[in-house]
Amino acid sequence: MSLLDDVAKLESEALERISTADSLDSLRELEFRFLGRKGPINTILKNLKDLSIDERKLVGAKANETRGRLEALLNERIATFESGGQEAAFDPTLPGTGQRQGVVHILNQVMGEICTVFHGMGFEIAHGPHVETDYYNFGALNFPPDHPARDEQDTFFVEGGRVLRTHTTPVQPRELEKRKPPIKLIMPGRTFRHEEITTRSHISFHQVDGFLVDEHISIADLKGTLVAFCRAFYGERLKYRFRPTFFPFTEPSIEIDITCFLCEGKGCQLCKYAGWLEILGSGMIHPNVLEKAGWDPEKYTGFAFGMGVERQAMLKYKINDIRLFFNSNVRFLRQFV
């Protein structure tokens, strides 16, 4: 039947033109031409009354179907253009829309730098669990049962008598039990403390611990290793000083300060006018720690150290608020590309 053929021809022509239209304007024009009030489909529908009943049904159905298909394709293509999906033909001479690249988070960068320096000195990397037993977090490290660090002020307690580790030092007794001297490890990772969140302290932060155990290890090894680290990380020219302090798991215990690299020792806001910046804790591993892990402290000795990653990053990059590391502000993070 010729009218049905006409509708079929019209449909294929319209579909072809709609699918190849290359602008919003030409799509609107095609919409008007094919589906407008005076367009061919409407004209056919309007004139159905002149046909026999049988023809009317067939042609009417076919014309409505065609209208549905054209509308669907038009709507789809118009929506694509309106959402900016496909502008005209691809023009390779237009300026690009620049893709921003993701970067490694500043904390991971700094943790990586610290590990790289020690790795270069032959230290291997080890990890331990965030949820730790009271024994490894405290007991194995020679904390007496009434030590204030066990107090709820500092520690998050988890059911089953466990804690969120308050430092990365518990990996030390874990590895001491598993390995044989010589042992030379660094242990980077996340730590947790029940602290008020301020510009300087947070409930979750990161540390890198390390230790070396073998026969005949002395405080000279500690000094050589840690001074080499400080120079590699903070620069060749820095001065350093060793200060006695107390940790339950080391004896003697030493804190290392470096000259403030901002004022070079003259005194400024960064070093709180002391001229020195405290950067890490260290010491000779306490004989009790070695003994609890099954090693004879008469035969084996070792040194250990631990430092806060946020603290090193804040000092090195002059960041004044620890919370900046955790609130995912892209404008902050992008500065460390």
- Residue numbers at the binding site for ligand DAH (CB under 6 A): 167, 169, 209, 247, 250, 281-283, 304-306
Closer of 39 and 188 to ligand DAH (Cβ): 188
Alpha-carbon distance 208 to 186, whole Å?
A: 7
- The b/e string for 129-147 (b: 16+ C-beta within 10 A; e otherwise) is eeebbbebbbbbbbbeeee
Both tokens of residue 274? 């002391």
Nearer to ligand DAH, 10 or 304 (CB): 304
Residue 101 CB, nearest distance to ligand DAH (Å)?
35
Least separation in angstroms between CB 328 and ligand DAH = 26
Contact (CB, 8 A) for 184 and 304? no
Least distance between ligand DAH and beta carbon 207 (Å): 6
CA distance 170 to 192: 13
- Least distance in Å: CB of 186 to ligand DAH? 10
If the CB atoms of residues 219 and 263 are measured against ligand DAH, the closer one turns out to be 219
Cα dihedral 209/212/213/214 (nearest 10): 180
For residues 55 and 332, what is the distance between their CA atoms, to the nearest angstrom? 72
Which C-beta is closer to ligand DAH: that of 189 or that of 281?
Answer: 281
Rg (CA), the chain: 36
- Which is closer to ligand DAH, CB of 203 or CB of 262? 203
DSSP notation for 284-323: EEPHHHHHHTT--TTTEEEEEEEEEHHHHHHHHHT---GG
For ligand DAH, the closer of residues 40 and 283 by Cβ is 283
Q: Is 63 exposed, middle or buried (0-12, 13-18, 19+ CB in 10 A)?
A: buried
What is the closest distance, in whole angstroms, from the C-beta atom of residue 137 to ligand DAH in the complex? 10
Tell me the C-alpha distance between 259 and 236, whole Å.
12
Q: 251 — phi, psi (to 5°)?
A: -160, 110
Q: Which residues contact 89 (CB under 8 A, 6 or more apart)?
A: 22
Q: Which residue is nearest to ligand DAH (CB)?
A: 306
The minimum distance between CB 114 and ligand DAH, in angstroms, equals 13
Q: How far is CA 1 from CA 59, 67, 262, in A?
A: 9, 19, 92
**Residue 310 Cβ vs ligand DAH, minimum distance, rounded to whole Å:** 12
The least distance separating ligand DAH from the CB of residue 212, rounded to whole angstroms, comes to 11
For ligand DAH, the closer of residues 63 and 322 by Cβ is 322
Q: In what order do the strands lie in the sheet with 162-164?
A: 131-133, 162-164, 157-158
Output the smallest distance, CB 316 to ligand DAH, in A. Answer: 19
Which residues contact residue 82 at a Cβ distance below 8 angstroms, ignoring those fewer than 6 apart?
24
Comparing CB distances to ligand DAH, the nearer of 276 and 305 is 305
Nearer Cβ to ligand DAH (14/222): 222
